[in-house]
Amino acid sequence: MGSFLYQICDNLLTAIVWVIIGDAILSWLVAFEVVNLRNRVVGSIAHTLSAISRPILAPFRRFIPPLGGSISPR
């Protein structure tokens, strides 16, 4: 039973890490105008990744000052 719970937690944390990495890469692609959020597929992917990663990163954003330019958070 313990091994099963470990696998579930490990897979969940791995998925969360990949979502955060994907959200960061997509935000860079949007910032450098490689992709456009007006594209329906890109906008949908960006919205989904942001909706998943925003609650996870919210506690850290209170303490870490903004490091980028003038782009406001979604």
Per-residue pLDDT of the chain (74 residues; tens, 9 = 90+): 789 999 999 999 999 999 999 999 999 999 999 999 999 999 999 999 999 999 999 999 888 887 766 555 55
Total-model pTM: 0.80
Q: What is the DSSP string of 3-47?
A: HHHHHHHHHHHHHHHHHHHHHHHHHHHHHTTSS-TTSHHHHHHHH
Q: Are 30 and 46 in contact (CB under 8 A)?
A: yes
